[in-house]
Amino acid sequence: MTDGTDNRNSAEPAIVRLDPSARNEAISILVSAYRSEPTFQYLFDHRRPGYEQRVRATVRELIDLYFDLDQDAIGVMVNDTLVAVAFIGEAELRLNLAAQISWRIRMVLTAGFACTRRYLDYHEKMKEMLPQPLAHQLPLMGVNPKYQNKGYGRILLSTVEKLCAENPRGSGLVLDTGNSRYLPFYESEGFRSLGTIRLGDFEDHVLYREFHADKAAVAPG
C-alpha cells in the first residue's frame, strides 16, 4: 500500500492505492461488509452451513482476479489501519466471468457449483443492465464495521467518483446494493436507478452516476 506520505502520527484519514500486499486486510474488511448483505446471503445460501467460508472464498477470488487484471484498488487509512477499501473496474472491462476458466474452477472448488452458477447468472444480469457508453464498475466496496458511521465510506466513494470522473474513457460509475437502507446515501451522491434484479424475495438495486454529460448514457430497455 502506497500513498507517498507518512501518516503514522496523524489520525486524519488518508487515501492510499492498494497493491497485493493489502490482500488479507482487504479480504477481512469485505467479508465483514458483505456477509450480512441480502445479495450475498441469497447468492451463497446463508441458511446452509459454511456460508461465511463461501463469502470469504468469493471475495478472495474476486480480489485476486482484479489484482491480476491490474484494476484500480484504493483504501482509506487511519494511522496504520486500513479501514475501508474499494475495487474499481475500468470502463472497458466488460468482464465475462464465465470465460475466466481458472477463476471459475477455483470458485467451484471453494464456493461450490450451485453458488458459483448462481453468482454467474447474477453477474450476467448485471452486465445486461450496464449503460452505453461504457461506465466504470464498483464490484467491491466496504468499511471495517469498527469504523462505520464516521464518514469513511463517503470519503472512499467520493475518491472513487473523482478517479472515474477524471478518466475520459468512461461515462460514469455503476454499483449495486441489495440493502435498500443504503439507497438514500447513494442518491445523495448523485446515483440514479438503472433497475433491479430479482433475487428470491427481494431486489438488488443497480445504480448509475453519470460524469460526462456529453456521453449521455441510456439504460437498455
Region for residue 152 given its phi and psi (left: phi exceeds 0; alpha: psi -120 to 50; beta: otherwise):
alpha
Q: Which parts of the chain have pLDDT scores under 50?
A: 2-10, 214-221
Query: Which helix (H) or strand (E) element contains residue 75?
Result: strand 72-78
User: For residue 47, what are the contacts with CB-CB under 8 A and spacing of at least 6?
Assistant: none
- Identify the three-state secondary structure at position 148: coil
Q: What is the pLDDT of residue 7?
A: 41
Q: What is the pLDDT of residues 50-98, one digit of tens each?
A: 999 999 999 999 999 999 999 999 999 998 899 999 999 998 877 778 7
User: For residue 103, what are the contacts with CB-CB under 8 A and spacing of at least 6?
Assistant: 61, 65, 97
User: Could you give phi then psi for residue 48, rounded to 5 degrees?
Assistant: -100, 145
User: If you search the block for the grid coordinates 445486461, which residue do you land on?
Assistant: 128
Q: What is the pTM of this model?
A: 0.85
Cell of 161: 467518483
Q: What is the pLDDT of residue 219?
A: 40
Q: What is the pLDDT of residue 132?
A: 79
Q: What is the pLDDT of residue 1?
A: 54
Q: What is the pLDDT of residue 216?
A: 44
- Identify the three-state secondary structure at position 209: strand
d(CA 148, CA 136): 25
Residue 182 CB neighbours (<10 A): 15
d(CA 90, CA 52): 29
User: Could you give phi then psi for residue 49, rounded to 5 degrees?
Assistant: -55, 145
Q: What is the pLDDT of residue 212?
A: 65
- Domains identified in the chain and CATH numbers: 14-215 (3.40.630.30)
